[in-house]
Homo-oligomer: A and B are copies of this chain.
Amino acid sequence: MARARATLRDVARRVGVHESTVSRVLNPATRHMFTPDVVRRVTEAAGALGYRPNPIAYSLKTNRTLTVGVLIPDLTNPLFPPVLRGIEDTLGAADYTAIIANTDNLEARAATALDRMKGRRVDGLILATARREDAVISDIIAEEVPCVLINRTTDAGKIPAVVTDDVRGIGLTVEHLVGLGHRRIAHIAGPQTVSTGHDRYLGFFEAMRRHRLDTDLVIFCDAFSEPAGAAAMAELMTGDDGFTAVIAANDMLAIGCYDALARQGRVCPRQVSVTGYNDMPFVDKLSPPLTTVRIPQYAIGAEAARMLLALIKTPAEPPPSVLLCPTLVIRSSTAPPGG
């Protein structure tokens, strides 16, 4: 900033009181100690000088930066921007600021980013990058940094998390497809090293079993990506086992399915129904518009931020994890089999 900003001392001098008086008057928690007259004079002088507290000095003194670090796999995945808006809106209302970093799903990058954030002395962390067994998170626990997980959680479950009920979410898609008459249903599963991939597979398995349907048609992908989805779909079509529907573990995988289907000249949903997961922006614009599971993205971010703020305030009382409810969004990528 160019212009030299007014400091507490400047205000104090102008009013003719001590620096600490100004500090206390300007602090809502201690303002009550003063006569209305002093409060008025100080407030006016502060206004006249355009006084703005220096957060750097505040931080150095209090050891709090009013900053939290947010780790996400990839900002260009449209799933995350709405989550971030939820986080930033909630943090902003409490005068906190988010610092965001992408990890590209690489644990090494997560470690580096976390180091930078800790270096910046963030007051807390929100991580969307948890693996089921996560060394990085073990460190965080050991260091007692306030932290909440979103979207994915760890097996150990020692850290408060805001996630959706993935088992139930996939159950919804199975019910929907079974209701349409499908019996041979395949699952393109995500990485089993992360809770979302694992829970969705579990959800598929349990729901299919409930209907006494076979669960042999499962391809495991090592990434929630379009190419991985395309490869899996291609593999599925190679050993054609007469499946009529595919449940992809997320929307990116489902888009990959579309690609592979198109390359083989198979048409969705007439020949194969496809479902996704997340209801990312723009999947309603695909051809055909994708049937998928909607998760409350903004709410996930907002809730996580709320929890983190609580945790920062009272680290001794970790807030309970939150399980949000997914809903099925039926569009045109699903239809009765053999349509």
Residues of A within 8 A of B (CB): 1-3, 52-57, 59-60, 65, 75-76, 78, 81-82, 84-85, 88, 92, 97-102, 116, 118-121, 143-145, 255, 258, 281-282, 285-287
Q: Are B55 and A60 in contact (CB under 8 A)?
A: no
Q: Are B2 and A78 in contact (CB under 8 A)?
A: no
Q: Are B60 and A88 in contact (CB under 8 A)?
A: no
Q: Which residues of B sit under 8 angstroms from A119, Cβ to Cβ?
A: 52-53, 55
Please report the C-alpha to C-alpha distance between residue A177 and residue B121 in the assembled complex, in whole angstroms.
55
Question: Interface residues of A: mostly helix, strand, loop or mixed?
Answer: mixed
Q: Are B88 and A82 in contact (CB under 8 A)?
A: no
> A55: which of B53, B55, B85, B121 is its contact (CB, 8 Å)?
B121
Given A75-B85, A76-B78; 18 other pairs, CB 8 A cutoff: A1-B118, A1-B121, A1-B145, A2-B143, A52-B118, A52-B119, A55-B120, A55-B121, A56-B56, A76-B81, A76-B281, A78-B281, A85-B102, A88-B102, A97-B116, A282-B282, A282-B285, A285-B285
Q: Which residues of B sit under 8 angstroms from A85, Cβ to Cβ?
A: 75-76, 102
Please report the C-alpha to C-alpha distance between residue A78 and residue B97 in the assembled complex, in whole angstroms.
22
CB distance from A84 to the nearest CB of B (A): 6
Q: Are A56 and B52 in contact (CB under 8 A)?
A: no
Q: Which residues of B sit under 8 angstroms from A258, Cβ to Cβ?
A: 285
Q: Which residues of B sit under 8 angstroms from A78, Cβ to Cβ?
A: 76, 78, 281-282
A-B contact list, 29 entries, CB within 8 Å: A1-B118, A1-B121, A2-B143, A2-B144, A3-B144, A52-B118, A52-B119, A53-B119, A54-B60, A54-B121, A55-B119, A56-B65, A76-B78, A76-B82, A76-B281, A78-B78, A78-B281, A81-B81, A88-B100, A88-B101, A92-B116, A97-B99, A97-B116, A97-B120, A98-B99, A258-B285, A285-B285, A286-B286, A286-B287
